[in-house]
Amino acid sequence: MDILVALKKEEAKLQQQLKGIQRAVAALNGAHHAVSGAQLVSHKRVHSKRTMSAAARAKISKASKARWTKFRAEKAKRGK
């Protein structure tokens, strides 16, 4: 009888360790998870890299340079 009690305690301890390991693995994977019972449920998000066309980058660059040119011109006017 004592052997069965010891085995049950060991089983409970191992299950707790398993849950801890599953949480650690999920954390390393960057997954958000919730543990219910002995089941680990993870919610993984798939992120895709946003890319921009060369034309769009050129357009943004041109607009930015125009803004800075206008800003510097107004600053020079106020300085006189």
Contacts of 52 (CB under 8 A, 6+ apart): 60
**Can you tell me the mean pLDDT for 16-31?**
88
**Can you tell me the mean pLDDT for 10-36?**
82
Range from 7-11, 12-16, 46-50, 53-57 carrying the lowest mean pLDDT: 46-50
| More confident call, 48 vs 66 | 66
pLDDT score at 31: 60
What's the pLDDT tens digit per position in 62-73? 999 999 999 999
Average pLDDT, the chain: 83
Structure tokens at 80: 């006189």
